[in-house]
Amino acid sequence: MNARVRLCTLGAILVSLFGIMWGTSGASAASSGGERTLSAGWTGPKAGTTITLPNGATATLSKDFDRMSLAELAAIGLHPSMGSHRAVDKYAPGPVVTPMNAYGCDGWVCIQVVSPTNDGRTVINWYTSADNPGGYVCTYSAYWDSETHVFDTGTEVCGQAPGQFRGSLTYPVGHPYDWRACNTWAGIYGKPCESITE
């Protein structure tokens, strides 16, 4: 049985959790800058939506995004390790405790964006996680900067439940205007987003 515990906590706990799991201190992973509004409950593009891939190509979804398999995503041109090649995914087996807080979870997926510039426009670290929904699962993370544009994908990783998939994107991402930061994991329900404005 997949152990899944959701806790209501302060934002600092999630920052510390992501920092610990990626080998950084809570202080270095602290989030600052920009006004952040979590948008949860929207699980990604629906069937018939046209999305833009990291290579600039466009594709129309045959199913809701979170219901597409890795093979179906590959058929429309979305693969692991597209974009910067700096998005890395890992799998942590065992029971999972996932904080639920202002930094954001939707469905099985969580997001944490780190901006040191006090304006929310430059991102130095971007963390995401997804609880394994059950069984043996292979997946990869996707990083979105709008509701229909995937600009980076992580490495494919597999694991047996219970456990948690964890992703990290670690290069500067600059956005000159207000923007939405979102995460998905291939074949896993959930797409949390942060709307970041000055």
Contact at 8 Å (CB) between 46 and 64? yes
| pLDDT for residue 1 | 36
pTM: 0.77
Instruction: Tell me what the pLDDT averaged over the chain comes to.
Output: 76
Determine the Cα–Cα distance for residues 73 and 91; give it in Å rounded to an integer: 21
- Domains of the chain: which residue ranges? 4-197
The string of pLDDT tens digits covering residues 52-84 is 999 999 999 999 998 999 999 999 999 999 998
Tell me the pLDDT tens digit for each residue of 12-56: 333 333 443 443 333 222 333 334 444 444 567 899 999 999 999
pLDDT tens sequence across 162-193: 999 999 998 777 766 577 889 999 999 999 98
The answer to whether the beta carbons of residues 106 and 130 sit under 8 Å apart is no
The per-residue pLDDT for 118 is 58
For the cut 50, the answer to whether the pLDDT of residue 129 exceeds it is yes
Strands (E), 61-149: 87-93, 96-100, 105-106, 109-114, 122-123, 125-131, 136-139, 141-144
Residue-level pLDDT at 96: 77
Least confident of 64-68, 83-87, 119-123: 119-123
Q: Parallel, antiparallel, or unpaired for β 163-169 and 173-174? A: unpaired
